[in-house]
Structure 1
Amino acid sequence: MTGQPQVSFDTDPGRYRHLRLEIDGEIAWIVLEVDEGAGIVPGYDLKLNSYDLGVDIELHDAVQRLRFEHPEVGAVVVTGAPGGVFCAGANIRMLARSDHSWKVNFCKFTNETRNAIEDATAHSGQTCLAAINGTAAGGGKTSPTCSPRAVRGCAVGWRRSGGWWTRWCRAAGSRRSCGCGAREAAARSRSVRPAGVEPVPLPPVRSEGYVYGTVAAEPGEHAVAIRVRGPEAGDEGWFLRMTRELDDMSKGGGIWVSPMEVEARLLQHESVGECAVVAYIDGDGLEKPVACVVPAAGRVVDARELIAFCRDGLASFKQPREVVVLEEPPKTATGKIQRGVARRLAADRLGKD
């Protein structure tokens, strides 16, 4: 999988393509109903309720919304839509055509989602149950839905899973309730959450015109410094806001780009004599690559042409967003490019701070 797009992790129930979120008093239902033709990138079908990163982004959002926006919910039931398949696991065709970095980030995010389920169960009193109402994938991890430590009760429906499911439940210390409906199991297993707790809304982290208020990234030559602004007196929402902004920064805008890789591509263009790739802060407060270019002798640099040239040879998130033409790059006495100076020059040209 090449030319990967940048991925947005912002979503809400009104935009879900693969899940239904239903709230019935103290019990919530997350129903997996995957849209086969709505993979996060083209090239494969999400058959048999299999999942990719796009499905997991919606699941993660649902888990967080139930935890913060619905303090009345004490049990969360994850199940498949009627049709005979609970979940076929991670989509095989997606994995087969993905490069290593995509697989690593996919697995990392799915693990973060399971950790969020475990944490909501352990610390927020929302017991999670898997209602297996159809065929489930083998191998010990059934779906993008639950991990052994998170699931306290398992309501197995009309089609029983194999022996691995028994072993999985035993490892979790969970119940395998074969004659028990999901609603009954949820009613038995639900936790009693503290009374009088107000819902905490989760608005979009990066709505139009949004600028991070608690975190900022300052990239250097070989490292990135992240600054966190502390809370002001009486700011009770600071911690949640800060963790959401930090999480968004590390995911949505945090695919760090190697300057040398982009520079190697730029130098293949006949109009480029020397170059340096640095970062600037865009309107959302995210770091994006900009190319500082010195034209080759007798050549004129066309910014659009150069960006298109990079687009043809690099993943989309690595291509420079802007091109700044310099008479000569700032260098040290030994001839090494001073990226910090180049970054300030680019910021001045682009009107960025």
Structure 2
Amino acid sequence: MLMKLDAFRAAVPNGYKAPGDPGYWAITHAPGLKDAYPEHDLPDLVAWHVTREGAQPISVSVEPEITGIQQLNDHWPVEELQNTRIMLIGAGSIGSATAHALAGYGVGHLTLIDPDRLDWHNLVRHTSARKHIGRHKVTALAEELASLRPDTAVTPLPLDVIEHADHVRSLLADTHLVVCTADGVAPRRVTGHLARRAGLTAVLACVLQDGALGEILRLHPWPRHGCITCRRQSLAEAGGLDPEPALDAGYGTGTRHRPMTAVGSDLHLVAQLAAKTAVATVLERAGHPDQRLPGEHALLGLRRQPDWAPPFNLDHTAELRWRPAIPPRAGCPTCEAP
């Protein structure tokens, strides 16, 4: 509603100037303005477009005293997550989206481990922008998260979890949980081994069957919970299959009858589930029973695979299946005490 110019001038004790053409913009701070002109329902801080015809109020967005994850204090366990330190191994397509999701949940500190640099072929699936081409993925992610999620401190380390296993092992002493989204079989098994030896839970995330299935494995360092190698071998002996060797083949190496569907959004669905699994694990441990997960092995259908051996035979796209843990196998070098 347009305020007459005389009324606007009377309400502004200082700084008023007569408008010319095409007028001017002004901001007023008047705590009593709302009471004086209740018909306008004006806040204390108002922007105005002042012309010869009158003053038109325009809403102003003012930064509140509390911003970021602290705004959710009444609805979300912010304190527990702000005090949580998670190591994320792998900053590729799934890893970058996992990092964003973990920060969105309010995790207070992320340590990012990945030796690779962002290349042109990564852009179709990665969360980072082309301006970061040639830079380490962990560095690009750290800068992006600092801008988007300043409540999360990020330590970027361009390390290889296999080559620099001793360095990674030392960092686990100051870590509450490990997430691995790295490509390939070896990094996943090394991550699981290091985490178990450190007494930490590890969450492993990947896609199988050229991107048709998403998989999340939660590996607790508990006596009745086997490592990833034990689980794969037990499945194979039960008549299933071991899909893990295919991870070393990379995306898009299937036949024409099994086209690669590992598009970015599918990979990011897996990343979101990995982050949820990690955060739910932390919160259940902190005394939040509503965060308890239904199992330890999750399979997400990105493209239905009814012809695969159980438990990978998902009948529907977007189907989510949870399975229990599998006990350790005798003689396992990871599960048995050194």
Q: Same fold by TM (over 0.5)? A: no
Larger Rg: 2
Classify the TM-score, shorter chain: under 0.3
